């Protein structure tokens, strides 16, 4: 049940973003050091490629594979496919059937193999085989929505963007930082209220937090490190 306020929307109140992100980053450092969890698959793929020229392609490919797929499956499939197709030209040489085989068992692996082939063709024909570092150009690629485009910008190019997936959307609304009905609207609202220095961090921090603590059903509120910043809106049972 949503809490009753003073008339001012919860998202309009000043948020202690510095405190929120300090606590989230401390929690992430601790949980990773204890090997109790791993960074999201896309972040792991980006780290794997460092400053390699192939990093944007690796991030784009793994983000496409990640849609409706668990992180451990995404990471394994991404590394497997990238070992055979480190660039768009190599992926086209593989063919759609082999690309799908290497991508299996990610969700909708055949459809994603077709999308990757179309993307590879466009990159080779229009961008000299390179992934564009422009939001609008990325959104023109088959199968690329705002979530994917923003993730490529932040993880591959270290550019400003706000990637909002189901975890970011859920936590931001649950905490009362925003009041939105869709991930895209959450992104637009965060662009208005979130200081830019936190744009690149919010996805990997809240995805990890949402996978481990702030779960959709029965979240671990007793372990929450940002509880004083969270209004627990629409939270029923918690642990």
Choosing from 55, 71, 112, 165, the catalytic residue is 165
Question: Smallest Cα–Cα separation from 96: which of 79, 80, 78, 111?
Answer: 111
Dihedral Cα 184, 11, 196, 130, nearest 10 deg: -10
User: Is 51 tagged catalytic?
Assistant: no
**Tokens encoding 97:** 């059937």
Task: Give the C-alpha distances (Å, rounded to integers) separating 23 from 17, 26, 49, 196.
Answer: 10, 5, 28, 18
Q: Is 16 noted as a catalytic residue in this protein?
A: no
The per-residue DSSP string of 32-59 comes to HHTTS----HHHHHHHHHTT-TTHHHHH
Q: What is the DSSP string of 63-92?
A: HHHHTTS-HHHHHHHHHHHHHH-SSHHHHH
Identify the three-state secondary structure at position 148.
helix
* Spatial contact of 178 and 190, defined as CB atoms under 8 Å apart: yes
210, 170 contact by CB (below 8 A): yes
Question: For the chain, how far is it from start to end, CA to CA, in angstroms?
Answer: 17
Cβ 155 vs Cβ 59: under 8 Å: yes
Instruction: Name the catalytic one among 39, 55, 112, 147.
Output: 147
Give yes or no for a contact between 140 and 148, defined as CB atoms under 8 angstroms apart.
Answer: no
**Residues designated as active site:** 147, 165
């Amino acid at each position: 049940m949503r809490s009753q306020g003073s008339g001012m929307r919860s998202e309009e109140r000043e948020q202690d973003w510095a405190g929120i992100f300090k606590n989230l980053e401390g929690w992430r450092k601790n949980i990773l050091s204890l090997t109790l969890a791993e960074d999201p698959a896309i972040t792991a793929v980006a780290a794997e490629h460092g400053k390699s020229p192939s990093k944007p392609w690796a991030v784009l490919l793994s983000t496409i594979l990640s849609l409706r797929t668990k992180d451990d499956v995404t990471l394994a499939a991404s590394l497997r496919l990238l070992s055979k197709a480190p660039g768009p030209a190599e992926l086209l040489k593989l063919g759609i059937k082999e690309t799908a085989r290497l991508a299996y068992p990610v969700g909708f692996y055949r459809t994603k193999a077709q999308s990757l082939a179309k993307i590879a063709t466009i990159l080779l024909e229009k961008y000299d085989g390179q992934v564009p570092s422009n939001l609008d150009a990325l959104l023109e690629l088959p199968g690329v929505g705002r979530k994917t485009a923003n993730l490529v910008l932040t993880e591959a190019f270290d550019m400003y963007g706000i990637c909002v997936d189901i975890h970011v959307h859920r936590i931001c609304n649950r905490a009362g930082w925003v009041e939105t009905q869709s991930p895209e609207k959450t992104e637009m609202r965060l662009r208005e209220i979130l200081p830019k220095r936190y744009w690149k961090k919010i996805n990997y921090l809240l995805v990890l937090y949402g996978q481990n603590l702030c779960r959709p059903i029965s979240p671990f509120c007793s372990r929450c490190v940002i509880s004083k910043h969270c209004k627990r809106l629409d939270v029923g049972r918690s642990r």
